[in-house]
Amino acid sequence: MIRWAHGEGLDMTLIETMPMGEIDEDRTDQYLPLSMVRADLAERFTLEDIPYKTGGPARYVTIGETGGRLGFITPMTHNFCESCNRVRVTCTGTLYMCLGQDDAADLREPLRASEGNELLNAAIDEAISRKPKGHDFIIDRRSKRPSVSRHMSVTGG
């Protein structure tokens, strides 16, 4: 797969499953730590860490044998929350300060309450002050419930 993708001039990015949203399956059956994937790949390819960034959370390596890039998104084995400055606004005006937490702020009400931006700006400032340091994701056989009941599709990737 890597050889094919890089042969086509494509980067590849993988991502660890996150415990978001109610699902019927056992997440431990879906969870594959990318640290294991990387170790497995390192037996067959020459991986070199590079500082390449796309603005997203992936950490990249180059594959010596193909010359292409491979990105790892590792919310579980090595979370990237310490460098996160992201928030998300839904089409209904809800501001989520973290993908991995339920806390949110309603922006629709202050937006509708005034012609000016003061109330909206104050609501955003207050919400940002509540942005958490990171997520509480856990995947193991003792915690069957998702860490966050909201599905990823509510806020987008």
SS3 state of residue 10:
coil
Binding-residue pattern over the window 14 to 53 for ligand SF4, x denoting contact by CB under 6 A: ----------------------------------------
Q: How far apart are CA 49 and CA 59, in angstroms?
A: 8
Nearer to ligand SF4, 62 or 74 (CB): 74
- 12 with 60: CB under 8 angstroms? no
* Minimum CB–partner distance for residue 95 and ligand SF4 (Å): 12
Burial 97-118 (b: 16+ CB within 10 A, else e): bbbbbeebbebeebeeeeeeee
- 7 with 73: CB under 8 angstroms? no
Q: Which of residues 110-139 bind ligand SF4 (CB under 6 A)?
A: 134-135
Q: How far apart are CA 101 and CA 60, in angstroms?
A: 26
Q: Which of residues 46-105 bind ligand SF4 (CB under 6 A)?
A: 79-81, 84, 86, 98-100
Nearer to ligand SF4, 81 or 89 (CB): 81
Nearer to ligand SF4, 48 or 136 (CB): 136
Q: In the complex, which residues of this chain contact ligand SF4 (CB under 6 A)?
A: 79-81, 84, 86, 98-100, 134-135
